[in-house]
A and B are shown apart, each in its own frame.
Chain A
Amino acid sequence: MTTTISREQWGSRFGYLMAVVGAMVGAGNIWRMPYVTGENGGGAFLIAYFLLLYLIAVPGLMGETSLGRHTRQGLIGTFRKLYGNNRFVGLGLVILIFNIVLMSYYSSIVGWSIYYAFHALIGTFTQTEFDTAVLWQNFSGNTALNVGMHSIAMLMVTGILLLGIKGGIERLAKWMMPILTIALIAIAIRGLTLPGAMAGLEFSFSPNWEYLARGETWLAALGQALFSTGLGWGIALTYGSYLGRNDDIPLGGGIFTAIGNTSFGLLAIFAVFPIVFAFGISPTSGAELAFVALASAFGSMTGGYLWALLFFMGFFFANLTTAIAITEVGVTTYREEKSTGRSKAVLTICGIIWLLGIPSAMNADILGYLDFVVGNWGLPLATFIIMIAIGWKFDASRLRVLSLNRGADLYVPKLWEPIVRFQIPAIMLGIMAYFLYSNLSQTPWKTVSGLALLTLLIPLCMWIMSRRRDTSYVTTPAGGQPS
């Protein structure tokens, strides 16, 4: 029998769109994009970024969502439908493992944002003479507290996923994404009224055209366009599998997802850098920007309690919706593979992630190492595998005529096919090669060990799935006849 079990569907178009944008809008949009933009030529970077967004992220997301909608399966089920019941199904398992590892350390970041949202709520940042750098150092150095916050983050994710696609993910996203938007707009308006705020916009938008001729600018834009939109991680595929047969994909799953996600990055530029420059803080990115610099600036602002609360609650919402999406990839797949109920699948996957996440919560070096391996090679490899599956195994032409243009609000022409077949896989290979070249001399041990892990993972997963084929499934390939 196939593992096709009765599937929930998104309850509304708005709910699906908020859920999928919420999945893609995460920490990177808020604490990374403003700085990357300013550091890479401002307007020049944005031009490179827009081009790559439309040339890669939009068509790629269309393909991934469309494949999920067509197969109506999670990761492994989709690969089984495409390749038949053989060892190549292991490629789906490889992507699933990347997702679980990614979530194991991302939950720590969700935990950080919960901790700071709590401090914003109790008014810590507006206390007189309060030092945010000390708070961050104390928090970073407290292993038990970090494990505790990681556990709270996973409990929240578990609770929401137990409520299902419509009752949990969709309901949450329908509230959280509009609140995040309003929060960022309010902070941006406040920030822009501060003296010296315009210097922040000048830093972010002032175009240095010579940066367009630099390879580093294009690579930074490519990294932001790919990793920020979550292309090829199985999220769009999983969320797409819950769409109705005649629901639109090109406009909602492609253009709105990619552009809507980037719109939050632009909103973050307006919300973050005017405040940073108004308070004479050195522009930076990551935890240093959010948890030290901005927290300090909010404490010094009139009405700082409100602004800190809006920012850290919004930041927490952005991280939580992403964490839910990454975990759902595993939940959907486990549920189908084991033909089990949703509750059991949620508890199992969240339990595994919680256990695997403890080392990252205890030691920032482990978190950094996993981020290095997954970010540099794991996610580009996942995107490469999915695009090859769409473009060559399923056939991009067949997917376009059969699924992508079905019920579409926007017609997708033939030009889409070579982009998915050649352009995106070639760029992924190029990215992995560049990361190897640029990291090998600087961090040889991390690079070699990370690559060795990945190299072993692929044959191992293929071996595991080839052993399972005799015992578990008879499947129906996407072409139709049972194999």
Chain B
Amino acid sequence: MSLSAIIVMTASIIALWGVATVALSYSLRQEERKLALIQSQGDFEPLSPRAQRDLETWLARHPEEEPAREVRELLELQQQAMQHNPQRFYDWSTIDEARQ
């Protein structure tokens, strides 16, 4: 086999099998963490810090529109989870440090 074919083959293996394996194992591990949080405290926060910020920005831009109701409901759910749950699913350390 030519060197160029070997390089392409190796890169394809990494880009496909490598990414698929990492994605599968990471996804399954995250699911285990979610299940552990549900078992220990009932639920977990549905949004990451960035996703929460996006939602708040969207609501600020579209406060009067009809879909704003379900956005507010989700934000409320997020706030309740943040208040009541001692353990977090997402990494909030940088946000907490910034607040302190």
Contact with A along B1-12 (1 / 0, CB 8 A): 110111111001
Does B24 lie at the interface of the complex (its beta carbon under 8 Å from any beta carbon of A)? yes
Interface residues of B in 6-39 (CB under 8 A from A): 6-9, 12-13, 15-17, 19-20, 23-24, 26-28, 30-31, 34
> CB of B58 within 8 A of chain A?
yes
> Which single residue of chain B is at the shortest CB-CB distance from A262?
B16
In B51-91, the 8 Å CB interface with A consists of 51, 54-55, 58, 66-67, 69-71, 74
With contacts defined as CB atoms under 8 Å apart, how many contacts are there between chain A and chain B in the complex? 119
Q: How far is the CB of A424 from chain B (nearest CB, A)?
A: 21
Q: Contact check, B13 vs A407: say whether CB atoms are below 8 A apart.
A: no
Inter-chain contact B12/A198, CB cutoff 8 Å: no
Interchain nearest-CB distance for B11 vs A (Å): 8
The contact of B66 among A13, A409, A480, by CB within 8 Å, is A480
Residue of B nearest to A13 (CB): B31
Within 8 Å CB of B31, what residues of A?
12-13, 248
Tell me the bound Cα distance from A244 to B24 in angstroms.
18
**Complex-state Cα separation, A259 to B27, whole angstroms:** 14
1/0 per position for A239-257, CB-CB distance to B under 8 A? 0000001101001100110
Q: Which residues from 389 to 416 on chain A have a C-beta closer than 8 Å to any C-beta of chain B?
A: 395, 397-398, 400-402, 405-409, 411, 414
Q: Which residue of B lies closest to A255 (CB)?
A: B23
* 8 Å CB interface, A217-269 against B: 245-246, 248, 251-252, 255-256, 259-260, 262-263, 266-267
**Is A39 an interface position by the 8 A CB rule?**
no
Distance in Å from the Cβ of B66 to the closest Cβ of chain A? Answer: 4
Residue contact A251 to B8, C-beta cutoff 8 Å: no
B12 to chain A, nearest CB (A): 6
Contacts of B58 in A (CB 8 A): 397-398, 401
Taking a contact as CB atoms under 8 Å apart, the answer to whether A402 and B26 are in contact is: no
CB-contact partner of B8 in A42, A397, A414, A479, under 8 A: A42
Q: Which residue, B6, B23, B67, B71, has most C-beta atoms of chain A within 10 A?
A: B23
B5 & A205 in contact (Cβ 8 Å cutoff): yes
Q: Which residues of B contact A267 (CB under 8 A)?
A: 17
**B27 with A13: CB separation less than 8 A:** yes
| Interface flag for A100 (CB, 8 Å) | no
Q: Is B50 an interface residue, CB under 8 A from the partner?
A: yes
Q: Which residues of A contact B13 (CB under 8 A)?
A: 266
- B46 cross-chain contacts in A, Cβ below 8 A: 245-246, 406-407
Considering the chains assembled together, what is the distance between the CA atoms of A36 and B43 in angstroms?
A: 47
Task: Check if B23 sits within 8 Å of A251, measured CB to CB.
Answer: yes
Q: Is the CB of A402 within 8 A of B70?
A: yes
A245: chain B residues at CB < 8 Å are 46
Q: Is the CB of B28 within 8 A of A13?
A: yes
A267 and B51 alpha carbons, distance in the complex (Å): 36
The answer to whether B27 and A251 touch across the interface, beta carbons within 8 angstroms, is: yes
- Expressed in whole angstroms, the minimum distance between the Cβ of B97 and any Cβ of chain A is 19
A479 to B68, CA, bound (A): 8
Least CB distance from A34 to B in Å reads: 12
| Nearest-Cβ distance from residue A58 to partner chain B, whole angstroms | 11
Per the bound structure, the CA–CA distance linking A267 and B9 in Å amounts to 11
Chain B residues with Cβ under 8 A from A205's Cβ? 1, 5-6, 8-9, 12
* Residues B9 and A411 in contact, CB atoms below 8 Å apart: no
Q: Which 4 A-B pairs have CB atoms at the shortest separation, nearest pair first?
A: A43-B8, A405-B51, A13-B31, A206-B5
